[in-house]
Structure 1
Amino acid sequence: MRRRNSPSSRAPRATRTFVSLTGPAGNIGDALIRRETLAWSMGTSDELVAYTGEAPDVWLRQLGLPSGTVVLRSKSSVPRWLWLLLIAPRHPVLVFEAGEIPLDRGNGLRELVFLAETIIVRLKGGVVVRPPRGIRAPSQPALSIHRLATRLSQVTLWRDASTLATARTGRLAPDIGFSAGTRDGLAWSERTELLVSLRGARPLPDAQWLSAVRESASAAGLRIRTVVQVREDEDRARELAELLGGEFDAWGDTDPLVHEEHLRERYDAAQIVVSDRMHVLVLAALSGAIPVELVPHPTAKITNAFAAIGLEGISMDATASDSERMREVLIPTPERAAEVSERVSAAGAVLADIQRQIRAAVRRARA
């Protein structure tokens, strides 16, 4: 007669981690922070389920999804995502994507879905992780729903103090992009370039801005080069190269992973990088270059995110500054570069410690 196995002798069901990794393939910064989010997720369970939204095949390569990952693509796969959450074994892990959270009107229903996901995981004895994020355009009822969901999550992180104050829960942490790893780059005396990368959707800077950048580069003995970290900015980079008398690095048909490494090599050789793209400045800082946001009417996003790692004076409003003040903020010094490197290294260490804490929380939940 066959002997039945007792419940205690049965092999445990495989554990499962869910991670959201949506984003446009034409944005190196978005790929960067989603890839770092994936790194936080990998190894936390036996099975990995990733939702990538409408992203094309190249996006999956940019993320570096491991073989065996269950990849859910397009909005039509959301019901399956929810079903897999519902039937998941005990102690699942849910990792939301890093970045900016829009909480303006019209996002209440989406936030209800995220709240439901959070509740499902908590009822199953699982762990919910919200990597460092920022809140954009908070409004009701989306904000209240989001606050409730974050209070129910074991790990809730915000990349700037302003967002933390809005959320009223969680804790401050460096932007997850700072976990991408510092690079030695060239020695300061061997760095020969001032790089510029501006959003194409914003107005072109005026003649005073152009003059300040040209004069600052000349005074420091640096070549001007414009680079493209987001595809939609390519025309603007070409235009700025002509106006500044600099060189233009196109993205063109280059593979995104090859282009990303090329960009990081450019940052390795720069003394200073001027941009209104947050993760252009993050990658520049990781390479030892001095990050500067010098544009008309800058948003507080970059200022606040760098302030969270102890770096002040990153941003300046070009419309409220004369040529002399703009030239001053564009003076590259090895002392400032050393301060930048020290702060971003410390930020990376904080993020590595947070990742260890998350893995410890998962182990405790399953003990």
Structure 2
Amino acid sequence: MPHEPSPLPSNSATFVALTGPAGNLGDALIRRGTLEWALGTSDEVVAYVGDAPDAWLRQLGVPTGTRVLRSKRSVARWLWLIATAPRHPVLVFEAGEVPLDRGNGLRELVFLAETVIVRLKGGVVVRPPRGIRAPSDPSLWLHARAALLSQVALWRDAESAALARGGRLAPDIGFGAGVTDGKPADERDELIVSLRGARPHPDAAWVDAVRQTAAAAHLRIRTVVQVREDEDRSRELADALGGQFEPWGDRDPVAQEALLRERYVSARLVISDRMHVLVLAALAGAVPVELVPAPTRKIADAFATIGYTGFTRDAAGSDAADMRDFLEAQLDRTSEMRERVRDADRRLADIEAEVRETIRAARA
């Protein structure tokens, strides 16, 4: 989503968190969206990227002139810069999943302190669409208090919004990464698979169902890698499915994302248990499907926020015929999916405009 240019107040600062591994293109996608919301809001941008390498900055498109803070050793510097910033600073937390299990209490206390400091300085705190994972107290209590103190607090699923007891639902920020219809459904000739390497390998019935679906629809099977740690699993799946394996190898992350977007434009169906594999696929006009043993609620809940449901199925205990019927039914959902994705993109554009107006009003 391109941000609208506007006059920048002199001596102003925006702080944005952009941590993440260069080997996870989904994390890069949503951190890039976070950065786009922050750009153009102040005359100085300060980005905390943790231990991320230079490749990560290229993936996100961090502009020249950004003050970049790296490693946990720079956290004290980050806090000092926030505390000593000019009036009306902006603090933008990163989009994505927020782990609130035991052991995260101190981190959440720091985030609450940052929020309080910015509010006391007459600034604006923005929390882009996020999802809560493994909630436990005191982490959840601290996180909810910080969200309530933020002018903008967005949740990508209803359960997270209920846990936080505040804020509002919004599409995952990845849905704002650019809608491309690509080829018409009847000209798409691939079925793409990309599964997590850390979860159980699908059984023979799953393999049969995917192969039969591809054959009936005259689709070639391709396995791709959107997260480096999944590369071995993609190779195994290509062997099992008789498909083409496309490794990541030594390709630059920016080039790898461009290649995957090109692949999704030609795909009719994309099967994955990685949420942002399915988000990127949907943006490119492919039909997203989650068909794996014991899927979590994460993907289904986030897509439910944009009104797209019924595309996820537990493969455990299902026979090949049932899974094939399920997959074939998904093939007819192209128009519905595209409508939902376009609407999500529009909603995110409207929210970004609201964020910018909130910042402008706070500085008026």
- TM-score class normalised by the smaller sequence: over 0.9
**Corresponding residue number in structure 1 for 2:257:** 260
Match of 1:279 among 276, 281, 286: 276
Asked if 2 retains the 8 angstrom alpha-carbon contact of 1:271 and 1:332, the reply is no
User: Does 1:221 find its partner at 2:212?
Assistant: no
**Corresponding residue number in structure 2 for 1:319:** 316
Letter in 2 for 1:65: V
Match of 1:110 among 97, 107, 121: 107
Show CA shifts across 1:194-239 (max 9, x none).
0000000111100010011001101111000000000000010011
Distance 1:83 1:333 in 2: 52
CA RMSD of superposed structures (Å): 1.0
Letter in 2 for 1:88: A
**Corresponding residue number in structure 2 for 1:5:** none
Distance 2:145 2:330 in 1: 46
**Corresponding residue number in structure 2 for 1:365:** 362
User: Does 1:249 find its partner at 2:275?
Assistant: no
User: Does 1:142 find its partner at 2:110?
Assistant: no
**Corresponding residue number in structure 2 for 1:60:** 57
Distance 2:203 2:332 in 1: 30
**Corresponding residue number in structure 1 for 2:185:** 188
Distance 1:201 1:292 in 2: 19
CA positional deviation for 1:28: 0.5
User: Does 1:338 find its partner at 2:324?
Assistant: no
Distance 1:288 1:109 in 2: 42
Task: State how 1:119-138 maps to structure 2 within 5 Å.
Answer: 119-138=116-135
Asked if 2 retains the 8 angstrom alpha-carbon contact of 1:108 and 1:141, the reply is yes
Task: State how 1:195-214 maps to structure 2 within 5 Å.
Answer: 195-214=192-211
CA positional deviation for 1:126: 0.3
Asked if 2 retains the 8 angstrom alpha-carbon contact of 1:90 and 1:126, the reply is yes
CA positional deviation for 1:322: 2.2
**Corresponding residue number in structure 1 for 2:6:** none
TM-score, normalised via structure 1 length = 0.96
Letter in 1 for 2:340: R
Asked if 2 retains the 8 angstrom alpha-carbon contact of 1:13 and 1:89, the reply is no
User: Does 1:41 find its partner at 2:43?
Assistant: no
Distance 1:333 1:51 in 2: 41
Letter in 2 for 1:298: P
Asked if 1 retains the 8 angstrom alpha-carbon contact of 2:287 and 2:331, the reply is no
Distance 1:279 1:314 in 2: 15
Q: Which moved more, 1:318-327 or 1:85-94?
A: 318-327
Q: Which moved more, 1:60-69 or 1:333-342?
A: 333-342
CA positional deviation for 1:119: 0.3
Q: Secondary structure at the match of 1:100?
A: strand
Asked if 2 retains the 8 angstrom alpha-carbon contact of 1:17 and 1:93, the reply is yes
**Corresponding residue number in structure 2 for 1:18:** 15
User: Does 1:51 find its partner at 2:48?
Assistant: yes
Q: Return closer, same or farther for 1:149/1:333 CA change in 2, 3 Å cut-off.
A: closer
Distance 1:216 1:22 in 2: 39
**Rg: which structure is higher?**
1
CA positional deviation for 1:186: 1.4
**Corresponding residue number in structure 2 for 1:3:** none
Structure 1 unaligned blocks of 5 or more: 1-11
Aligned length: 356
**Corresponding residue number in structure 1 for 2:228:** 231
Distance 1:332 1:194 in 2: 14
Q: Return closer, same or farther for 1:286/1:13 CA change in 2, 3 Å cut-off.
A: closer
Match of 2:267 among 270, 280, 284: 270
Asked if 2 retains the 8 angstrom alpha-carbon contact of 1:220 and 1:332, the reply is no
Distance 1:137 1:314 in 2: 24
Q: Return closer, same or farther for 1:257/1:173 CA change in 2, 3 Å cut-off.
A: same
Q: Secondary structure at the match of 1:359?
A: helix
CA positional deviation for 1:184: 2.4
**Corresponding residue number in structure 2 for 1:8:** none
Show CA shifts across 1:232-284 (max 9, x none).
00010011000100001111011111110100010000000000000000000
**Corresponding residue number in structure 1 for 2:160:** 163
Q: Secondary structure at the match of 1:313?
A: coil
Asked if 2 retains the 8 angstrom alpha-carbon contact of 1:18 and 1:49, the reply is yes
Q: Return closer, same or farther for 1:160/1:353 CA change in 2, 3 Å cut-off.
A: same
Q: Secondary structure at the match of 1:164?
A: helix
Q: Secondary structure at the match of 2:91?
A: strand
Percent pairwise identity = 68
Runs ≥4 residues deviating over 6 A: none
Letter in 1 for 2:350: D
